[in-house]
Structure 1
Amino acid sequence: MTAPPAPTDPLAPGVQLRRGRASLAVSFLVQGAVFALLVTRIPAIQDRYGISDGLLPAFLAAVPVLAGVGSVVTEQLVKRVRPSRVLRLVQPVVCLALLAVGAVHSMAQAAVALAVFGLAVGALDASMNMLGVSLQRAYGRSIMLGFHAAYSLGGIVGASLAWAGAHWKLSLALLYGPVVAVLVPLALVAGRWFVDRPRGHEAQGQDPRGTGEAGAPVAMRLLLPLCLVMAFAYIGDSTVSNWSAKYLQDVLGSSEQLATVPYNVYMVTTLLGRAVGDLGVRRFGAVAVVRCGTVLAAGGFAVVAAAPGAWAGMAGFTLLGLGLCVIVPQTFAAVGRYAFEKQGAGASDMAVARLNIFNYVGFLIGSPLVGALGDAWSYRGAMLVPMALVLVTLVYARSFGGPEARYGDGHERPRTADVG
């Protein structure tokens, strides 16, 4: 009698997950490039549309506010629509909105383009991280930091393209047009292989769309500690992005050219830290990595505050990049895991959307907070405030892992096997 063929079902998810992981990394990279192309060319956007210095803060604040709205809408949307579909739809919209920001002809049109950009970015950030969290759960090991490393790499690419556009005095439309022409097809092709939460949850009686009792949202009071960690991390991040150049030049007495270096160094160290961060989580655990990152970030702020000169200040910003870079991806992973264990896969997606709002909260608070403290007190003293806020992460470090930090689904291979 002929022996029955060996079952192949356990192998199929491995191929699917690898494709899903690669395609999602591409999506993170595209988003990093697009966002960098917008924020690094804000002075050119201001000049093109005649936006006054008094009106500019309103334009800049509107983007994260609307992004928060987009994240809230996505929380409700994923009750009925898979996150992969949301991401496939909104990523091209974000790219085209960037092009519109550089190609329209009036301030009012630019405001509409920025509004669309903000709403779509909120949905995009939420859905990307939903997919990242569910993929990590299916893999059974840490991969979330790698996705955010791709985002950092995209940010470096986008900032480099923006520098080239400014160097060659290209118009915004001429800069954005070819880039969007490449990124939109890339995003559409990558979107074909997105992987939502594994089908194994259906066998456990959970609704794969997150509806019903298994997808009930987790109470906000239970998520609040990690939401605060996210907000404080982004206060630290926005401090670097908005104040590093001014701090180095005005407080530490560097040249104008040297003052542009710290943020570039910060971005590079963020990429490096995230590129190796998953290995650290697998070897030492998420709790240890988050604690180490928190101490490094706090030490970076302390060095910046006490720096006697520009080079010491840059060393502080380097430490900041290495420390802060691990906190945000691990916070997404922790919230998703906690909600999954409490209520199931649908609740995990909704929790990630809620958490995503707090990155915009931190971004909105960080820059004005440091500026107000710097003007009223001193900029050296102001650097100690985000340091203290980041240190709050140590209080909640145990929320990032522990024996209850389970991964995997019905299709998962043994943890000793590498599926990608």
Structure 2
Amino acid sequence: MTAPGVPEAQLRHGRGSLALSFFIQGAVFALLVTRIPAIQDRYGISDGLLPVFLAAVPVLAGAGSVVTEHLVKRVRPSVVLRCAQPVVCLALLAVGSVGSMAQVACALAVFGLSVGALDASMNMLGVTLQRAYGRSIMLGFHAAYSLGGIAGASLAWAGAHWQLSLAALYGPVVLVLTPLAWVAGRWFVDRRTVDPQPADRQAVAYQEGAAKASLGMRLLLPLCLVMAFAYIGDSTVSNWSAKYLQDVLGSSEQLATVPYNVYMVTTLLGRAFGDLGVRRFGAAAVVRAGTVIAAGGFALVAAAPGAWTGMAGFTLLGLGLCVIVPQTFAAAGRLADESHHPGASDTAIARLNIFNYVGFLIGSPLVGALGDAWSYRGAMLVPMALVLVTLAYARSFDPGRELYGDDHERPRTADVG
């Protein structure tokens, strides 16, 4: 329902600015992860030490999410996001510009901590806006993130093709994105914006609600597992698709780079149109369909007789996995809202966000260890089985009487576009 006292234009501006924030984060993150080999070469990071650097980022991001859970009890999530995003951008520039391994380690630490705060606060605002709109819009925000990832990966490819230094690649991007992120933050809309209570009563109710919300967090556990398993699947694609296609399915080195790009494009497409599916069929049905499609993708990859069949499997994975994470955040916010405590939703989002990084940390080493000890074909069946667990928890995504959109839409006072 559109909140009383919040103009429709303010909600539309909040939606646009938040989508821009998701886009910027997708681009920045892609610029970092796609240039890991160049970062390793620049600072002389050994192959043995590189996994430590890579693991530290999601660990610190999880810590940043925990800090954000407590910070938003006193500071608006919109303020956290507006401050964290420029820090992430500047940390990226530092990664490409500092002069020693110790300094790049510090830059990556700042990047990780601020990314945790950014991811948590972005999704808090997304859940709040979806609630204010009264219909599914969460997938659209994550589609903006995917589009940013494609843009960032394309810029990284151009930088590698033209043999630009990391500083020359990151500098102009950060110069554009940092002030853009700061200015866009002026129009963020969060829960306290749409709450018509006086500011002092909002703050007290928010802190009391966040404290009481911890009593019901056991209800969040199924969604935490779904989040972790979805990111295990995602990290399997991002870290192993090229190696699998080349080493197991015998593709050329050039063709082996294609599956992840296809995965990113199908992820974007699935998210761009996913909200329509949620409005028409409900969140639980869309998550079930996505789970079955993703599991079919893993099965096709594991059984693929050749490279093109394997690529078809990775294409299915993008279409299937893309809907799970945004809907998991939305379901967590809805479950928390049912407690009627003002701070419960943001607390739930911050805690759920930690399992994003848990899945990212587990996925790549798990598949690698199973591939070395058993076979990479068999290893692909493990994330398939984990993703299928989502079917057991699909009812957690069902808003019951408050299904969003079209045939399922609850009454609202105004349509905000």
TM over 0.5: yes
**Which AA in structure 1 matches 2:213?**
P
1:73 partner SS: helix
Unaligned runs of 5+ in 1: 1-8
Alignment of 1:386 with 2:383, yes or no, is yes
Residues 214, 343 of structure 1: 8 Å contact kept: no
Residues 250 and 20 (structure 1 numbering): CA distance in 2 closer, same or farther, change over 3 Å? same
* 1:188 aligns with one of 167, 182, 185: 182
**Which AA in structure 2 matches 1:255?**
S
- What does 1:81-100 align with in structure 2 at a 5 Å threshold? 81-100=75-94
| Aligned counterpart, 2:63 | 69
The alpha carbon displacement at 1:348 in A equals 0.3
| Aligned counterpart, 1:4 | none
> 2:402, 2:47 → 1: CA distance?
48
| Aligned counterpart, 1:133 | 127
| Aligned counterpart, 1:6 | none
Residues 213 and 104 (structure 1 numbering): CA distance in 2 closer, same or farther, change over 3 Å? closer
| Aligned counterpart, 1:148 | 142
| Aligned counterpart, 1:211 | 207
| Aligned counterpart, 1:299 | 296
> 2:56, 2:207 → 1: CA distance?
32
Residues 85 and 13 (structure 1 numbering): CA distance in 2 closer, same or farther, change over 3 Å? same
| Aligned counterpart, 2:363 | 366
> 1:11, 1:119 → 2: CA distance?
35
Residues 105 and 214 (structure 1 numbering): CA distance in 2 closer, same or farther, change over 3 Å? closer
The alpha carbon displacement at 1:339 in A equals 0.8
2:186 partner SS: helix
Residues 204 and 221 (structure 1 numbering): CA distance in 2 closer, same or farther, change over 3 Å? farther
> 1:208, 1:172 → 2: CA distance?
45
| Aligned counterpart, 1:3 | none
The alpha carbon displacement at 1:11 in A equals 7.8
Deviation by residue 1:1-49 (Cα, 9 ceiling, x = unmatched): xxxxxxxx96852111000000000000000000000000000000000
TM-score by length of 1: 0.94
1:316 partner SS: helix
Task: State percent identity of aligned pairs.
Answer: 83
* 1:42 aligns with one of 36, 55, 78: 36
- What does 1:10-409 align with in structure 2 at a 5 Å threshold? 12-197=6-191, 199=193, 201-203=195-197, 208-209=202-203, 210-213=206-209, 216-218=212-214, 219-405=216-402
2:328 partner SS: helix
> 2:328, 2:189 → 1: CA distance?
21
The alpha carbon displacement at 1:340 in A equals 1.3
After TM superposition, the structure 1 stretch with the greater mean CA deviation from structure 2, 36-45 or 184-193, is: 184-193
Residues 300 and 180 (structure 1 numbering): CA distance in 2 closer, same or farther, change over 3 Å? same
**Which AA in structure 2 matches 1:15?**
A
Deviation by residue 1:84-116 (Cα, 9 ceiling, x = unmatched): 000010100000000000000000000000000
Unaligned runs of 5+ in 2: none
TM-score by length of 2: 0.94
Deviation by residue 1:65-94 (Cα, 9 ceiling, x = unmatched): 000000000000001110000001010000
The alpha carbon displacement at 1:208 in A equals 3.3
Residues 403, 410 of structure 2: 8 Å contact kept: no
> 1:74, 1:407 → 2: CA distance?
28
**Which AA in structure 2 matches 1:114?**
L
Residues 207, 346 of structure 1: 8 Å contact kept: no
**Which AA in structure 2 matches 1:362?**
G
How many residues in Structure 1 have an aligned counterpart in Structure 2? 409
Residues 213, 341 of structure 2: 8 Å contact kept: no
- What does 1:2-13 align with in structure 2 at a 5 Å threshold? 12-13=6-7
